[in-house]
Amino acid sequence: MKELYPWRKAVKIPLPPAVKPQLIRHFTIGLLYPVTDELREAREKAGLDPVPPTAHRYRDAVDDIQKIVRAIGVDRNVGLDLDRMEYKYK
């Protein structure tokens, strides 16, 4: 393609800075916040399982989300490398 269109350049997608880390967390753990030691303790004191039955507990749910995101192609559109969890454009 580069030979045919030598002036073509990748387009930088203007994602708001506050959104970028949210997308990485979403696609890494499935949710915005991780399970911390303080949380485990507080959940146990509330009589709950220390790890909630969300994607925090089910890694396969995160794998599914990544497959879906790749199928849509939004990772490419926003310049996010899902394998390295890094943005192509800083």
Distance of CA 35 to the CA centre of its chain: 16
The stretch near other proteins (CB under 8 A) out of 2-10, 37-45, 82-90 is: 37-45
24 binds other proteins (CB under 8 A): no
**Nearer to other proteins by C-beta: 48 or 85?**
48
CA 24 → CA 27, 43, 47, 70, distances in Å?
5, 25, 31, 14
CB of 8 to other proteins, least distance (A): 22
Instruction: State yes or no: residue 15 binds other proteins (CB under 8 A).
Output: yes
Angle subtended by helix axes 59-72 and 19-29, to nearest 10: 120
Does 80 bind other proteins (CB under 8 A)? Our answer is no
Tokens standing for 42? 């507080």
Specify burial of residue 80 (Cβ count, 10 A radius: 0-12, 13-18, 19+).
buried
- Contact positions vs other proteins (CB under 8 A): 15-16, 18-19, 22, 26, 30-36, 38-39, 41-43, 45-48, 52-58, 60-65, 67-72, 74, 77-78
